[in-house]
């Protein structure tokens, strides 16, 4: 699979073709895999439409592009012997713009795809790009279809979502690419963030020679812990009978950023050394400080108009506000004071997770209802009940612990497996770029750090820390993105790896190792500035008036903050999970 063909000015094997000649329903049908290519798939309902002079707006994961021509293709298939229907969707570039690449994409939340926004990234890099609906229908999500009419789990859908459909979409797309462009040479890549990041890991763990390179952002790969962890703020608030308002939490966050901003040697509104912040800043310092926020009205996505109104807030930060903030930052501890799971890095906005809901009836803030993915994981995936809200009656941190253990056991091998031996993928020549925002408030940054540490220890148990990192970095690099939120840039001056797929292509096709990952400031006063992101565990440090940082190895006490001891669940957190 790993055949090298760098094409600077178009893919030569396709140069005699035109978009019109490849983009017909009959040609697309003829390009589909045969039973000898992929056994057990029965195809139907193929469509093809040529699109000319399309523009791609810049996104977080790719720059803008204009003048793109492509064939918009959809196809449906079923598995022999099953009454199912899976849809796949591809953009096939104009042969003159095709660069001999295939790009698989994933989803977010309980969705297995990101729609056209994922496919457009392929057009920027001259790649065929594909996505799948996993049998859930376009716009469908796992929680919509995971329960059958009789209330039992649909394990075919779970397997599709867990790993199978991305794999089949990739193999179908790669075969079609070779047939349409009349060439056996093809680079294959994956790109996704959040659930899309987990989608990518599901592939490199199982199919070692499927991709030349995988770009995985903020992966939600430890579902048994990640999804119930969304419920921890409300569980803690119930235990102390207190819910803070968002203004108080924002005050604590702002004070944290102000106190820790300069610890990286540069004052720019970005906490790029959250490890040093943990050692040098204590949120208790905010107790007694005043806050004030104007009234606000939320957007109602159902009506398209105004939603609930939150009144103006004025007051002083109290000990309970800080206690909630620290509970979210540190993560849950069980009733025996054992660390259950990780929390968020200093400087992360906790208001969206932990703020109470204002009640016009009582004139006070109440613990927010648990809904969306944190509730649905418990009710639908664990309890197998069709409900989108979760009652907190009788729920404690030990209940949370039980949910995590149940999810580990129930979805081992599908949604929860975190294999840490990537030897086969490495030996096949595969490369991994793994990134995670340092201020991610949805998936804790430490979850990615712990995973890479697991990989290092499992693959290189007999090497020193420095030597094992050197070996690991030959094929797998993790980047903690300063100030970045969940799969998105900082609102201020933080960098974001918008051209991360381009960096992966350079690594695979030109052997340009991303010792520091290319990034751009996408928002704030420094918008447009180029910056580099250090390979973890190295962290950025500016000195004097320099415009570029150095990547330094943290001192031991700072380095240790990245590797918490999780001793609540009887499982070695740094072993093979």
pLDDT tens digits for 426-476?
999 999 999 999 999 999 999 999 999 999 999 999 999 999 999 999 999
Cα separation, 100 vs 98, in Å, equals 6
Residue 278 pLDDT level (bands cut at 50, 70, 90): very high
Q: Rounded mean pLDDT of 545-553?
A: 87
Strand, helix or coil at 263?
helix
Considering only CA atoms, which of 402, 396, 435, 418 is closest in space to residue 516? 435
Cα 465 to chain centroid, rounded: 27
**In percent, how much of the chain has pLDDT > 70?**
94
**pLDDT at residue 300 in the model:** 55
Mean pLDDT, the chain, whole residue set: 92
Q: At what angle do helices 397-410 and 232-240 cross, to 10 degrees?
A: 160
How are strands ordered across the β-sheet holding 495-496?
A: 495-496, 516-521, 530-534
**pLDDT at residue 130 in the model:** 98
More confident residue, 13 or 31: 31
> Does an H or E element contain 29, and which?
helix 25-31
* pLDDT for 545 beyond 80: no
**pLDDT at residue 299 in the model:** 58
Active site residues: 194, 440, 486
Contacts of 206 (CB under 8 A, 6+ apart): 163, 167
Strand, helix or coil at 86?
strand
Residue 357 pLDDT level (bands cut at 50, 70, 90): very high
Cα separation, 387 vs 452, in Å, equals 35
Tokens 């009887």 locate to 570
Q: What is the pTM of this model?
A: 0.94
Q: Rounded mean pLDDT of 78-102?
A: 96
Whole-Å CA distances, 102 to 37, 89, 128, 137, 381 = 17, 13, 5, 23, 33
* pLDDT for 12 beyond 70: no
Q: Rounded mean pLDDT of 1-12?
A: 39
Q: According to DSSP H, which parts of 487-548 are helical?
A: 500-510
* pLDDT for 577 beyond 90: no
Cα separation, 18 vs 7, in Å, equals 18
For 99-137, write each residue's pLDDT tens digit: 999 999 999 999 999 999 999 999 999 999 999 999 999
Q: Indicate the length of the chain as a whole number.
A: 577
For 436-448, write each residue's pLDDT tens digit: 999 999 999 999 9
Tokens 């310092």 locate to 285
> Does an H or E element contain 131, and which?
strand 127-132
**pLDDT at residue 16 in the model:** 58
Residue 575 pLDDT level (bands cut at 50, 70, 90): low
Residue 576 pLDDT level (bands cut at 50, 70, 90): very low
Q: According to DSSP H, which parts of 289-367 are helical?
A: 319-330, 351-354
Residue 18 pLDDT level (bands cut at 50, 70, 90): very high
**pLDDT at residue 298 in the model:** 67
For 361-371, write each residue's pLDDT tens digit: 888 999 999 98
**pLDDT at residue 46 in the model:** 96
**In percent, how much of the chain has pLDDT > 90?**
84
Contacts of 13 (CB under 8 A, 6+ apart): 100, 181, 182, 183, 185
Looking at residue 261, what DSSP letter applies? Answer: G
**pLDDT at residue 10 in the model:** 43
* pLDDT for 244 beyond 50: yes
Q: Rounded mean pLDDT of 197-213?
A: 95
Looking at residue 333, what DSSP letter applies? Answer: B
**pLDDT at residue 479 in the model:** 98
**pLDDT at residue 8 in the model:** 39
What is the number of other CB atoms lying within 10 angstroms of the CB of residue 467?
11
Most confident of 32-41, 86-95, 521-530: 86-95
Cα separation, 501 vs 515, in Å, equals 15
Residue 574 pLDDT level (bands cut at 50, 70, 90): low
**pLDDT at residue 310 in the model:** 80
**pLDDT at residue 9 in the model:** 38
Residue 304 pLDDT level (bands cut at 50, 70, 90): low
More confident residue, 523 or 487: 487
């Amino acid at each position: 699979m790993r055949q090298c063909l760098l094409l600077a000015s178009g893919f030569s094997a396709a140069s005699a073709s035109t978009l019109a000649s490849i983009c017909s329903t009959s040609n697309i049908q003829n390009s589909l895999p045969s039973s000898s290519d992929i056994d057990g798939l029965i195809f139907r309902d193929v469509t093809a439409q040529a699109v000319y002079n399309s523009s791609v707006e810049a996104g977080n994961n790719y720059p803008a592009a204009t003048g793109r021509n492509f064939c918009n293709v959809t196809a449906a298939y079923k598995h022999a012997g099953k009454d199912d229907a899976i849809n796949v969707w591809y953009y096939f570039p104009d042969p003159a713009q095709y660069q001999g690449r295939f790009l698989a994409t994933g989803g977010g939340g309980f969705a297995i795809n990101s729609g056209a926004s994922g496919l457009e990234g392929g057009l920027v890099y001259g790649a065929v790009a594909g996505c799948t609906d996993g049998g859930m229908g376009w716009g469908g999500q796992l929680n919509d279809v995971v329960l059958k009419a009789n209330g039992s789990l649909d394990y075919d859908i779970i397997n599709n979502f867990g790993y199978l459909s991305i794999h089949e979409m990739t193999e179908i797309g790669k075969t079609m690419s070779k047939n349409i462009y009349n060439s056996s040479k093809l680079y294959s890549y994956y790109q996704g963030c959040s659930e899309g990041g987990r989608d990518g890991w599901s592939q490199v763990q199982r199919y070692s020679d499927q991709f030349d390179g995988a770009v995985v952002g903020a992966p939600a790969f430890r579902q048994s812990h990640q999804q119930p962890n969304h419920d921890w703020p409300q569980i803690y608030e119930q235990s102390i009978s207190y819910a803070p308002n968002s203004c108080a939490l924002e005050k604590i966050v702002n004070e944290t950023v102000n106190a820790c901003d300069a610890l990286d040697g540069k004052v720019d509104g970005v906490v790029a050394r959250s490890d040093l912040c943990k050692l040098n800043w204590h949120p208790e310092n905010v107790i007694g400080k005043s806050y004030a926020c104007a009234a606000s009205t939320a957007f109602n996505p159902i009506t398209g108009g105004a939603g609930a109104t939150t009144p103006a807030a004025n007051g002083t930060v109290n000990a309970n506000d800080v206690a909630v903030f620290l509970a979210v930052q540190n993560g849950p501890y069980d009733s025996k004071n054992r660390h259950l799971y990780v929390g968020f890095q200093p400087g992360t906005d906790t208001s969206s997770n932990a703020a109470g809901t204002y009640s016009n009836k009582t004139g006070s803030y109440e613990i927010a209802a648990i809904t969306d993915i944190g509730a649905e994981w418990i009710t639908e995936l664990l309890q197998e009940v069709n409900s989108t809200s979760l009652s907190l009656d009788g729920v404690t941190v030990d209940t949370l612990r039980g949910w995590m253990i149940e999810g580990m056991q129930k979805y081992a091998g599908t949604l929860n497996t975190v294999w840490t031996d990537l030897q086969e993928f490495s030996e096949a020549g595969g490369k991994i770029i793994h990134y995670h925002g340092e201020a991610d408030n949805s998936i804790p940054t430490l979850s990615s750090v712990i995973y890479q540490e697991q990989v290092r220890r499992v693959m290189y148990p007999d090497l020193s820390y420095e030597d094992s990192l050197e070996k690991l970095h030959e094929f797998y690099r993790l980047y903690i993105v300063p100030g970045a939120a969940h799969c998105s840039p900082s609102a201020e001056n933080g960098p974001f790896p918008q051209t991360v797929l381009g960096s992966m292509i350079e690594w695979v096709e030109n052997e340009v190792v991303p010792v520091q990952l290319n990034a751009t400031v996408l928002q704030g006063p420094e918008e447009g500035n180029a910056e580099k992101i250090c390979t973890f565990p190295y962290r950025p440090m500016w000195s004097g008036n320099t415009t570029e940082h150095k990547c330094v190895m943290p001192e031991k006490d700072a380095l240790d903050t990245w590797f918490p001891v999780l001793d609540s669940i009887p499982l070695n957190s740094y072993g093979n999970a």
